[in-house]
Amino acid sequence: MSLGFKVYSFFNGILVHKDSLGNKYYHDKNNFSKRWVVYAPGFGPESLPTQFHNWLHNTSDEISSFELDESSQESFVKKRVQKHSVKHKETQDKGYNSWQPK
């Protein structure tokens, strides 16, 4: 996150919740439906549990007090990243010859 975004969050946002990884969840002082997250260093969108994702996208208006200890939440994030990572084939044979521009 940039320094400017952190300053914006400090002056224009109200801190709603901070999870065990250090992600901070804000909503706007004037418009409660405008919500955002400041990710902890080293983490990104894959570190958000489902209930926080739902809150950010205005699907739910409450953040439950669901908390995992840091090690189990980090293992959850690693499993999630590994699940969605692109798996490359060991061989490059795709069964067809792709077009190569000249």
Instruction: Answer whether residue 10 is part of any domain.
Output: yes
Burial 35-66 (b: 16+ CB within 10 A, else e): bebbbbeebeeebbbeebebbbeeeeeebeee
Determine the structural domain holding residue 20 and report its residue range: 3-63
Bridge partners of 13, per DSSP, are 28
Burial class for 17, CB neighbours closer than 10 Å (0-12, 13-18, 19+): middle
Instruction: Answer whether residue 93 is part of any domain.
Output: no
For the chain, give the longest Cα–Cα distance: 58
Instruction: Answer whether residue 75 is part of any domain.
Output: no
Instruction: Answer whether residue 32 is part of any domain.
Output: yes
Instruction: Answer whether residue 59 is part of any domain.
Output: yes
- State pLDDT tens for residues 47-84: 787 788 888 888 877 776 555 566 666 676 666 666 55
Q: How many domains does the chain have?
A: 1
Lowest mean pLDDT among 2-6, 64-68, 77-81, 89-93: 89-93
Instruction: Answer whether residue 31 is part of any domain.
Output: yes
- Statement: residue 20 has pLDDT above 70: yes
Looking at residue 30, its pLDDT comes to: 92
Quote the tokens at residue 74: 């980090």
